[in-house]
Amino acid sequence: MNLINVIEFEEGYRSKPYVCSEGYVTVGFGTKLYDKTGVSASDFPITVTRSIAAEWLHSEIAIKDLRLSKSMVSGVYNKLDDNRQAIIMSMAYQMGTSGLLNFRKMWLALASENYAEAAKEMLDSKWARQTPERAERHARVILGESLVDVYPNRSGK
């Protein structure tokens, strides 16, 4: 179990463009096709294969990882274990790096390794109200559960 599995589980795969819950035209594993809302998915008459969607996913993760590694929270981010780093990256993937950086109290709690407080701050947010099941799974990993326990292997999916 790794970050790619987490994002694939959380986002799901769609070969045809659709409008996500925030109003953006999206495809593949939650890749935003256009930065403005109010556009119709039918304006994007494409089909994206699973392998292309996976390439886009890997590329977006690399960009977000680089941004986090060079951000004001780089010291905290780089010290997290692999499971917690995967969750932070999943959050960055979903809401963007700048959106994730707005979780100031969560970052302060992570800096002091107060994972209970970090999880509490994650769950006390608009993000958690919008995607409560995802937020709950993410908080469980921040609290110390492993990705394997929270995200069971779904081979064959």
The domain limits of the chain are 3-150
Judge whether 135 and 122 are in contact, CB under 8 Å: yes
Q: Which pLDDT belongs to residue 22?
A: 86
Judge whether 30 and 94 are in contact, CB under 8 Å: yes
Q: Is 72 left (phi over 0), alpha (psi -120 to 50) or beta?
A: alpha
What three-state secondary structure class fits 57? helix
- Residue 157 pLDDT > 50, yes or no? no
Q: CB atoms < 10 A from the CB of 36, how many?
A: 8
pLDDT in tens, 9-41: 999 999 999 998 889 999 999 999 998 999 999
pLDDT in tens, 94-115: 999 999 999 999 999 999 999 9
- Residue 153 pLDDT > 80, yes or no? no
Judge whether 109 and 117 are in contact, CB under 8 Å: yes
Q: Which pLDDT belongs to residue 154?
A: 57
Q: Please give the order of strands across the beta sheet that includes 14-19.
A: 14-19, 25-28, 31-32
In terms of Cα–Cα distance, which of 129, 150, 156 is closest to 138? 150
Separation between Cα atoms, residue 142 and residue 37, nearest integer Å: 32
- Residue 156 pLDDT > 50, yes or no? no
Separation between Cα atoms, residue 92 and residue 122, nearest integer Å: 13
Beta carbons within 8 Å of 83's beta carbon, 6+ residues apart:
141, 145, 146, 147
* CATH class in words for 3-150: mainly alpha
